[in-house]
Amino acid sequence: MRSELTIDLGALRRNVKTLLRALDGAEVWAVVKANAYGHGAVDCAGAALGAGASALCVATVGEALQLRREFSTTPILVMGPASNREVAEARDAGLALVVSGDEIPEGVAVHVKLDTGMGRWGISELPAPPREVVGVMTHLATADTDLEFARAQIERFRVATEPLAHLTRHVANSAAALRIPESRFDAARCGIAIYGLSPFGTDAAEDGLAPVLSWASEVAQSKLLHAGESTGYGRRFVAERDTWIGILPVGYADGFRRDLSGTEVRIGGERCRVIGAVSMDATAVELNRELPPGTPVTIVGPGVLLEEHARVAGTLTYELACGINSSPSRARRVVVDAA
């Protein structure tokens, strides 16, 4: 068990239902881009749809085509830009595209993206929409941090799209779905929250969400460092006194990033600090006694939230989750599907 990822689809279903309740009538569209934030796109899409999500959202036409093979009739929305060739593929596969310019492709369902303050994709004024246009949307820059700015974006959107209220209007991401009722319109595009991770970087349990992913490894070797001895590249940890350390067979190639040095994992109910430089295939932790090889280690799971690691690494759970390497050559992936 170098690196074992467990995906709890029951938790994912409960998270979708929690969001449906919070949305009070608006639809949940499950955002499963980037392999469902590292959780496995096909598994997570199936579970989300089973729990009541009405559509899938991805970033690329390639991601959408992969899902189309499994879900032949589900609405799938590609949120990122598409090349001409991809537009043709989208048409053939019955996908919907988000368009951020004035040129509306023919023969494919289109959602026009209005830039109301994100300053990224999107047009600043809506054209008179041709019949391909079935939806209008915008994306919030600060739903997790600055409610006032988010509300101003929503108001701008509401005014601009008032004449288009017959189209499907969607604005909210996870943070807005949970905290900004006026963002709801017809549907919310929810990613992070369906995986049970907090869009606010706090404990997702506060919003009634439960983590879907857990990540385990093992102590592959324990060793005693005598005072003055070090572990790892660059001798970044030097023992001040005799210290037991454990070597875990995971490193940054598995997605356990170099900037996670200093974070804590859980071994036998105790929290242990990651010490020294994380290397490509190995990580050292400080122990308070010798442990036998094979002792289980919780990297993410009960008692260790991904949010804590994100804080140590100075990043978001989004980035950590996307970076976890679930390829079978590096990790064992276990899907638990208890109702």
Ligand X SMILES: *Cc1c(COP(=O)(O)O)cnc(C)c1O
* Catalytically active residues, by annotation: 33, 233
Q: Which of these segments, 83-91, 155-163, 191-199, 222-230, binds ligand X (CB under 6 A)? A: 191-199
What are 184's two structure tokens? 């709801």
Q: Which of these segments, 41-49, 167-175, 178-186, 204-212, binds ligand X (CB under 6 A)? A: 167-175
In the complex with ligand X, the residue whose CB is nearer, 12 or 272, is 12
Nearest residue to 82 via CA among 100, 67, 61: 61
Using rule CB under 6 A, residue 192 touches ligand X = yes
Q: Which of 68, 189, 257, 266 is the binder for ligand X (CB under 6 A)? A: 189
Using rule CB under 6 A, residue 61 touches ligand X = no
Using rule CB under 6 A, residue 14 touches ligand X = no
Burial letters 193-212, b for 16+ CB under 10 A, else e: bbbbbbbbbeebeebbbebb
Q: Which of 18, 116, 174, 261 is the binder for ligand X (CB under 6 A)? A: 174
Instruction: State the nearest-atom distance from the C-beta of 173 to ligand X, in Å.
Output: 4
Instruction: State the nearest-atom distance from the C-beta of 59 to ligand X, in Å.
Output: 7
Strand partners, 9: none
Nearest residue to 92 via CA among 111, 112, 64, 113: 64
Secondary structure (DSSP) of 85-111 = HHHHHHHHHT-EEEE-SS-PPSSSEEE
Q: Are 194 and 16 in contact (CB under 8 A)?
A: yes
Instruction: State the nearest-atom distance from the C-beta of 190 to ligand X, in Å.
Output: 5
Using rule CB under 6 A, residue 31 touches ligand X = yes
* C-alpha span between 249 and 253 (Å, rounded): 11
In the complex with ligand X, the residue whose CB is nearer, 133 or 193, is 193
Q: Which residue is nearest to ligand X (CB)?
A: 191
- Using alpha carbons only, how large is the chain's radius of gyration in Å? 22
The residues of the shown chain that bind ligand X, judged by CB under 6 A, are 31, 33, 79, 139, 173-175, 189-193, 199
